[in-house]
Chains A and B, each alone.
Chain A
Amino acid sequence: MLQYVTINMDGALLRVAKGTSVLDAALEYGVCIPHLCHVPNLSDMGACRLCIVEHVVNGKAKVTTSCTLRVQEGMVIKSNTDKIQRLRRNIAELLVAEAPNSRAIQDIAARCGVKTVRYPFRNEKCVLCGRCVRVCKEMFAANAIGFVGRGKERRVASPFGKLSEFCKRCNTCLEVCPMTITPCAGPMKPGEEYLCNKCESQLMEIASAPDQCFFCDLGEGFQCSRH
């Protein structure tokens, strides 16, 4: 039988099944926590750090990623304090600077309220979110790609740089990759690091409801798991 626990999320009491993550619980109840590396039904590795929340223990708030945090009876979570918003915006900014050429990243940045990017652009092709790696390993049991190397050299690769014999050529890795989503033609070019604000309606909605889910179009862009 499913056991339930009660958690306090931004003052509201939520009843959620034991064993779910705080992120899943929040999304289930319509609390918006932007996230990138989380894919429903896969394990979480906390790579993108976007889903941070404040976890209050004994009156002290600890910032942790909600996708790797399991619900516990009576836990207190704050998902949208000023501090969290500031940190999240900064993380989104760094993501944009790392890999601006993806609609997914641009939309996440917009959802997190990024207006300008203060960091130099690196134009990387991979943000090491690990979505492809986990989908390959857990959903298709192929383990044909994985993280290789360490530190700056860390990258996703197939064994010895050759196509693995276990690869089923299902292309799911490409489907879940945020970098395969064609970037918006407008903003976020090197040299003009700003949001063009053409999606005015979106941005207004975002500003008016930073913490609630209204099934934003942006979420669709970055494969938010509510869609």
Chain B
Amino acid sequence: MPPRAIKAILEGRRSQPQQLIEVLQDVQADYGYISEEAMRAVAEGLGVQPLEVYRVASFYKAFSLKPQGKHVITMCTGTACHVRGAKLLLDQAQGQLGVKPGDMTDDGLFTIAHVNCLGACALGPVVTENGASHHHMNPGRLRKLIDNLRKEEKAEVSHD
């Protein structure tokens, strides 16, 4: 589905400041992130100050202010995963992709993130890739995972 224009998202909700979070959720869902222009448009549409929109958007983890890669690789760094070497996974991903947590690679394929417990501690260290969980990860398996994703992307590109 192509992203709806901000105008369409705001439709029927103009001048209703209480709708702020819902509107931001829709922007996030359609665009994958919330840009400054989007926030300004939302502020104007709902009749709240830009600062207010920025505060809300920056507060919740569900909103991302930076573009997200096609594959979001999330490392669990909660206690259980931490003691089983989540740090090594984070280092591996950072080294392999050359970006910091929260940032996107230049080709727009990957974003690294970390969370504080996915609720599957017995399976740790846990890594999720766009919501699909991978359990008992180690740096080697993570490297393969990223390599495979890359390969798939290359294959897709050469197909079209």
Q: Shortest beta-carbon distance, A173 to chain B, in Å?
A: 13
Answer whether A143 and B59 are a contact pair too, CB < 8 Å, given A160-B36, A160-B39.
no
**How long is the Cα–Cα vector from A158 to B58 in the complex, in angstroms?**
12
A74 in the interface (beta carbon within 8 A): no
> Is there an interface contact between B58 and A149, defined as CB atoms closer than 8 Å?
yes
> How many interface residues does chain B have, given as a range?
10 to 19
Contact partners of B58 in chain A: CB under 8 A: 148-150, 153
B49: CB under 8 A from chain A?
Answer: yes
**Is A92 part of the contact surface with B, judged by Cβ < 8 Å?**
no
Residues 121-151 (chain A) with a chain B CB within 8 angstroms: 143-150
With a CB–CB cut-off of 8 A, which chain A residues contact B51? 143-146, 158-159, 164
CB pair B55–A166 under 8 Å, yes or no, is no
For the complex, what is the distance from the CA of A158 to the CA of B52, rounded to whole Å? 10
Residues on B with beta carbons closer than 8 Å to the beta carbon of A164: 50-51
Q: Is the interface of B mostly helix, strand, loop or mixed?
A: helix
Task: Give the chain B neighbours of A157 by CB distance below 8 A.
Answer: 54
Are B49 and A160 in contact, with the CB atoms below 8 A? Answer: no
Could you say which interface size class chain A belongs to?
10 to 19
Residue among B50, B51, B55, B60 facing the most chain A CB atoms (10 A cut-off): B51
Q: Given the complex of chains A and B, what is the CA–CA distance between A148 and B53 in angstroms?
A: 10
Q: Which residue of A lies closest to B65 (CB)?
A: A160
> Judging by beta carbons under 8 Å apart, are B54 and A160 in contact?
yes
Chain B interface residues (CB < 8 Å from chain A):
36, 39, 49-55, 58-60
User: What would 10 A/B residue contacts be, using CB atoms closer than 8 Å?
Assistant: A146-B52, A148-B55, A148-B59, A149-B59, A150-B59, A153-B58, A157-B54, A159-B53, A160-B39, A160-B54
B-binding residues in A (CB < 8 A): 143-150, 153, 157-160, 164, 166
Closest 6 CB pairs of A and B: A159-B50, A159-B51, A159-B54, A148-B58, A146-B51, A160-B36
